[in-house]
């Protein structure tokens, strides 16, 4: 099915563990993004990618790593999870203006 | 840093009432977007306003972009329980990046 999918939908991990959130889109959009959504802060940009092999930091990149070896995939890795990274993470893709969001991954770091 | 201030943060009204949500910035954006988000889902794009003074209508929803392209408003006429949700304004930046306001949680009581 066409669209943007995230996995897993829910994840509980321990402090210090590495965890990877997956994002896959079928539109061949050039741009992909990772946002986190927290109460009182709205959605904040973590990383974005303008094309395969091109990534750049957003507003809150510390503690996160991304890669984009293929246009359709944009995984987000927390190298050593901390409690402050407990959040809902949204992946999005765009052709330049209209953005389409995945359903989100609710991550809890205990 | 470009910031978007959205108000009010919470709105609780009765079915049939009208309401307006405001989105203000100290900076000029090339365009502003409005999203609606339901619990457990990602934001969904409602509209993009591009030209200063532009007004767009989507059934009972009216969106306006300020003449100076620094502010926008969303007006809902005769609100219905199905309008309940989180409304987000977002300023479009380079490479499709979005700066979001904090959101307005709207509850429409039957």
Name all domains of chain A by residue range, CATH numbers in brackets: 4-109 (2.60.40.10)
For B4-97, CATH number out of 3.40.50.620, 3.40.50.720, 2.60.40.10, 3.40.30.10 equals 2.60.40.10
Average pLDDT over every residue of A81-93: 98
CA-CA distance, B92 to A95, in Å (whole number)?
13
Report the run of H or E that residue B57 belongs to, with start and end: strand B55-58
Q: What is the mean pLDDT of residues A64-69?
A: 97
pLDDT class of B26 with cuts at 50, 70, 90: confident
Which stretches of chain A sit within 8 Å of chain B by CB? 31, 33, 35, 40-45, 48, 50, 58, 90, 92, 94-104
CA distance A45 to A31: 13
- pLDDT confidence of residue B2: 63
Q: Decide if pLDDT at A41 tops 80.
A: no
Q: A28 phi and psi, to 5 degrees?
A: 60, 30
State the average pLDDT over residues B72-85: 97
Return the pLDDT at B12: 97
> What does the domain layout of chain B look like in residue ranges?
4-97
Pairing of strands B10-14, B104-109: parallel
Chain B, residues 31-90, CB within 8 A of chain A, namely 31, 33, 40-45, 48, 88, 90
CB B36, CB B85: distance < 8 Å: yes
Beta bridge partners of A11: A107
Cα separation, B16 vs B89, whole angstroms? 23
- How far is C-alpha A60 from the geometric centre of its chain's CA atoms? 12
Report the pLDDT averaged over residues A64-81: 97
Q: Is the pLDDT of residue A2 over 90?
A: no
Q: Does the structure show a pLDDT above 80 at B68?
A: yes
pLDDT of residue B1: 58
Chain B residues with beta carbon closer than 8 angstroms to that of A101? 42-44
* Residue B100: Cβ within 10 Å count: 23
Name every chain A residue with its beta carbon within 8 A of the beta carbon of B42: 90, 92, 101-104
Mean pLDDT in residue range B77-94: 95
């Amino acid at each position: 099915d066409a669209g943007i999918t995230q996995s897993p939908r829910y994840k509980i991990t321990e402090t210090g563990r590495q965890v990877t959130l997956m994002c896959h889109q079928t539109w061949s959009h050039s741009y992909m993004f990772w946002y986190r959504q927290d109460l009182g802060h709205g959605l904040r940009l973590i990383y974005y990618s303008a094309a395969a092999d091109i990534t750049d930091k957003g507003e809150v990149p510390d503690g996160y790593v991304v890669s984009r070896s293929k246009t359709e995939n944009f995984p987000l890795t927390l190298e050593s999870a901390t409690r402050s990274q407990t959040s809902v993470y949204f992946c999005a893709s765009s052709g330049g203006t209209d953005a389409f969001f995945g359903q989100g991954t609710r991550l809890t770091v205990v | 840093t470009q910031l978007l201030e959205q108000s009010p943060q919470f709105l609780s009204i009765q079915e049939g009432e009208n309401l307006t949500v405001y989105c203000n910035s100290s900076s000029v954006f090339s365009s502003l977007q409005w999203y609606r988000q339901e619990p457990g889902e990602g934001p969904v794009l409602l509209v993009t306003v591009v030209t200063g003074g532009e007004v767009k209508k989507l059934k009972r929803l009216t969106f306006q972009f300020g003449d100076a392209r620094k502010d926008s408003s969303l007006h809902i006429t005769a609100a219905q329980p199905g309008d309940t949700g989180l409304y987000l304004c977002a300023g479009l930046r380079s490479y499709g990046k979005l700066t979001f306001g904090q959101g307005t949680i709207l509850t429409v009581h039957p």
